[in-house]
Amino acid sequence: KEKIHDHECQCSYEHLNLLLQFIMGIKVSLESLQPQSLEVASKRLQELHQSLRGLELKMSKLGGGAAASMQGAITPTLLTSFTPLSSAVAITLELQLQNEKKKVAELSQRCQELELKVSTFENIICVLNREMERSSTTMEAYNRQHRLDQDKIEILNNKVRQLERTVSLRDLSIVEMEGKMREMSASTYDGIFIWKISDFTKKRQEAVAGRAPAMFSPAFYTSKYGYKMCLRIYLNGDGTGRGTHLSLFFVVMRGHSDALLKWPFNQKVTLMLLDQNNREHIIDAFRPDVSSSSFQRPVSDMNIASGCPLFCPLSKLDSKNSYIRDDTIFIKTIVDPTGL
């Protein structure tokens, strides 16, 4: 114990120097330390104060004049070393606290700005939602109106189709009436009929090509209430005369007054291709075969044609005769009214 006491008395100066170095190391650590909050720094300061008080108590227990003198010499040093440490840490903590407060204030301001923007956006979204609802309502109304319009359009289309069918039927009726009027205007009621065939070259080419081999004349009558008749011509021939002759036939048609007439038809028929210089008409005549169905009372629109398949050689038409003039020929028919 005496050796320990002597050692403590003799080496107290070295011990205090070691303590001072330890405290200075703590000071450097505190300066490099970035306290997270003021409470942590205060707690650390309190721990340091307690450590210093413990050291002072130990120093007071040391005996001897040297220890007392050394303690008296070192105490001011400790105090002067500790005092700047506390003030420096406080200033640093105060600055950090102010910086944190400034950051908090900035964050608070930014939060307020963001809240204001969010509020503005929410208002805009509310307005847009109302506009969307209004637009949706308007769109539904437009869709309903569109469906109604489509229904009306469909109804109108049906009406248009009906009108088109009606117009088509009317057109057919008009064409039929025009044909009847042409027939009536071209018809004769005395048994004599002259048939004018224009565009002869074109019509003959169509006959040669087979597109329109035969042509019917307008109807004519022996009298207003007499027999109804027409002619049928093959410009490129028919039967035995095909390709070599012009074939001409006589046709008995069903008329309105057939019930008042004598049957079978038994009137002499004369067929003529007129020479337009009135010189050499081509003439053929025949008296009907009363046993032939061609001259019985018609049960359809017209009976089977009967006549002359070798009526006129085509070569005669192509000669310098005057049967064709201005691309037109004339066929004349005479029905003998004797006995009617």
Q: Where are the domains of the chain?
A: 2-112, 187-335
Mean pLDDT, rounded, for 311-329: 88
DSSP 8-state code for residue 302: B
Distance CA(306)–CA(315), nearest Å, equals 23
Contact partners, residue 62, CB within 8 Å, separation at least 6: 8, 9, 12, 71
pLDDT of residue 84: 44
Distance CA(61)–CA(56), nearest Å, equals 9
pLDDT, tens digit (0-9, with 9 covering 90-100), for 17-41: 666 666 666 555 555 544 444 455 4
Contact partners, residue 295, CB within 8 Å, separation at least 6: 252, 264, 265, 266, 288, 289, 303, 306
pLDDT band, very low/low/confident/very high, at 277 (cuts 50, 70, 90) = confident
44-to-33, 47, 146, 211, 294 alpha-carbon distances in Å: 11, 5, 81, 124, 143
Specify the length of the chain in residues: 340
pLDDT, tens digit (0-9, with 9 covering 90-100), for 102-135: 877 888 888 888 889 988 888 999 999 999 999 9
Other C-beta atoms within 10 Å of 156: how many? 10
- State both tokens at 57: 């108590």
Closest by Cα among 86, 97, 119 to 34: 97
pLDDT of residue 194: 95
In the chain the first and final C-alpha atoms are separated, in Å, by 186
Mean pLDDT, rounded, for 259-274: 96
How big is the chain by its Cα radius of gyration, in Å? 69
Mean pLDDT, rounded, for 164-188: 87
pLDDT, tens digit (0-9, with 9 covering 90-100), for 34-74: 444 445 545 655 665 566 566 556 555 554 443 444 444 44
pLDDT exceeds 90 at position 87: no
Average pLDDT, the chain: 82
Fold for domain 187-335? Answer: 2.60.210
pLDDT of residue 1: 57
Segment of 19-33, 70-84, 216-230 carrying the highest mean pLDDT: 216-230
- State both tokens at 107: 């964050």
32-to-25, 26, 28, 99, 116 alpha-carbon distances in Å: 11, 10, 6, 17, 41
Contact partners, residue 274, CB within 8 Å, separation at least 6: 194, 281, 323, 329, 330, 331, 332
Q: CB-based burial of residue 81 (10 Å sphere; 0-12 exposed, 13-18 middle, 19+ buried)?
A: middle
pLDDT exceeds 90 at position 4: no
- State both tokens at 9: 């008395």
Closest by Cα among 10, 19, 4, 14 to 55: 19
Full-model pTM: 0.52
Q: Which helix (H) or strand (E) holds 197?
A: strand 192-197
